[in-house]
Amino acid sequence: MKKALMSVLAAVILFLPAGAWSGASGNLSARDVLIKSEVETAVSMLQGIADMQAQGKMALEEAKRLGAHLLRNLSYGKEGYFWADTTDGVNVVLYGRKDTEGRNRIEDKDAAGVYYVKAFLARAAAGGGYVEYLFTKKGQTEPQAKRSYVLPFKPFGWVVGTGYYVAEVTDAEAARPAADLSKAVARLEAGMVNVLQGLRASMAETARETGRIGGHRETEIRQMLKKNVDAGRPYVIDAAFIDNRGIMKLIEPGRYKMHEGSDISKQEAVIKMMKTKKPLMGHYFLSVEGIKSVDMEYPVFSKGNRFIGSVSLLIKPDDMIHTVAAPVEKDLHVNCWVMQKDGVILYETDAKQMGLNLFTDPLYKDYPELIALGRNMIKKQQGNGFYTFLVHDGKKVIKKQAFWKTIHFLNNDLIIVAYREVK
């Protein structure tokens, strides 16, 4: 009798339309939108890696290894994670489970007899979609109804997915704003990672070529520096070649040429790069050009692997982040901020707050909830919370909800935040 019941349940689960488990309330819609968005975001991040592989910057196996590492460490909300299987059914990523990763699970079936991995592959082959099945939640022993969304990622021959447990869905109206904020953070993360990795890739190419030809080939180096500035990235202020003593030898564009010969060996980013001989991103500072900015440094080594200096990009962080945040703010009707772990705000929808320090500026001293939330953001990789603060016109105080996540790039951590008013 139990076996028959489970078979019937399997058939019901497999052919349920979207939202059928939610009854008349339609509670699943917000979660459906969220998991679809999360998978799309994850796939877009994988595409950035695949693009670099296609450009010859890494081998396919290295790109896959990097992609698997990205998915394994990518998360959202409290317990959201991603998995990936090859189109043959071999699991690539499942939150580091040693009993699963690397195993072909195409014949795996749930407690009701559903071959859920085969269902993933079939949905992906059709372009992507939702799959319903039973699965045991991490840390528990009994299978629960689960709904997932999968997409193919053809460059690696993978199927990528994420999902949620239906029992966790309670009230769609309450969940919708939170889903939008979580979605906003995911989009911000994907966009920021793509922009930063793009900058790193172009710097790496310039550093590699400079090392190959030698630091004395001024004309060629200037052309490469200019290419970094003219690459359709208006937030790049200038590009420079710094010698191994910290002297700015060459700089483009030409309007900053008067700074050639400047000794910037005391700047934070230059000090750390010269010490570690590794690429890095500095903190917000006032540059020798007189611009509040962020400096990225990439070491240059000669053919004989001798350190001869670095390639530097000076970035206006608010303009850079705006290119990612503006469409997110418009599409999801949220506000955003990005800050360093010392509290300096690199971007805010309210432009008046850019460059302020959340923990020391007088603007925030009367809002202890906001300051406490900021300190919690520094301690925890991701999360959400509530606080009170001024509306953007500065005339009244309102309650807000915020979701955040910390992204790590080179040596630096950036906290990305999406928030909105709580009605």
Distance CA 15, CA 358 (A): 51
What is the full DSSP assignment across 144-190? EEEEEEEEEETTTTEEEEEEEEGGG---HHHHHHHHHHHHHHHHHHH
Distance CA 298, CA 280 (A): 7
What per-residue confidence (pLDDT) applies to 73?
87
Backbone phi and psi for residue 391, each to the nearest 5 degrees, phi listed first: -70, 170
Q: Do the beta carbons of residue 282 and residue 294 sit within 8 Å?
A: yes
How many helices (H) and strands (E) the chain has is answered by 9, 16
218: three-class secondary structure by DSSP: helix
Distance CA 157, CA 150 (A): 13
The pTM of the full predicted model, rounded to 2 decimals, is 0.61
How does pLDDT run across 43-74, given as a tens digit for each residue? 989 998 999 999 998 999 999 999 999 999 88
Shortest CA distance to 206 belongs to which of 261, 237, 245, 250? 250
What sign results for the dihedral spanned by CA atoms 197, 199, 201, 207?
negative
Alpha-helix runs per DSSP H in 251-386: 268-276, 317-332, 368-379
Residue 64, number of CB atoms within 10 A of its CB: 22
Phi-psi category of residue 359: left, alpha or beta, with phi > 0 → left and psi -120 to 50 → alpha: alpha
Phi-psi category of residue 47: left, alpha or beta, with phi > 0 → left and psi -120 to 50 → alpha: alpha
Domains and CATH numbers, the chain: 2-170 (3.30.450.20), 203-317 (3.30.450.20), 327-421 (3.30.450.20)
Side chain identity at residue 360, one-letter code: T
Per the listing, tokens 């990528």 go with 160
Side chain identity at residue 235, one-letter code: Y
Interacting residues of 312 by C-beta distance below 8 A, sequence separation 6+: 239, 240, 241, 242, 248, 269, 270, 295, 296, 297, 298
Alpha-helix runs per DSSP H in 74-171: 116-125
What per-residue confidence (pLDDT) applies to 422?
78
Strand 236-243 versus strand 307-315 pairing type: antiparallel
Residue 96, number of CB atoms within 10 A of its CB: 10
Distance CA 293, CA 387 (A): 29
CA atoms within 13 A on the CB side of 288: 23
State which residues of the chain have pLDDT below 70: 1-30, 169-177, 392-395, 423
